[in-house]
């Protein structure tokens, strides 16, 4: 199982790290969209898709590096 070292001296699994990346990136992007005055409902849909994609790609990258 792939693990990721955090900046706090601990390690978490790659799945947990990908989930954290997905949620945090979605929240930041949603805040930017709302600050720019876009419709929150449409923005929520867009950032959900973006968060899923970023989480999957982060997990794939961490898993590929740990296998090699």
7, 18, 54, 51 alpha-carbon torsion, rounded to 10°: -100
Q: At what angle do helices 40-67 and 14-35 cross, to 10 degrees?
A: 150
| pTM of the entire predicted model | 0.74
Reported as a single tens digit per residue, the pLDDT across 6-60 is 788 888 888 888 888 888 888 898 899 889 998 888 888 888 888 888 888 888 8
């Amino acid at each position: 199982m792939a693990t990721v070292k955090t900046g706090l001296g601990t390690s978490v699994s790659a799945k947990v790290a990908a989930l954290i990346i997905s949620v945090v990136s979605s929240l930041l992007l949603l805040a930017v969209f709302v600050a720019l005055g876009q419709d929150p409902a449409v923005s929520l849909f867009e950032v959900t898709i973006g968060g899923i994609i970023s989480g999957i790609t982060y997990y794939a990258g961490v898993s590929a590096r740990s296998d090699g």
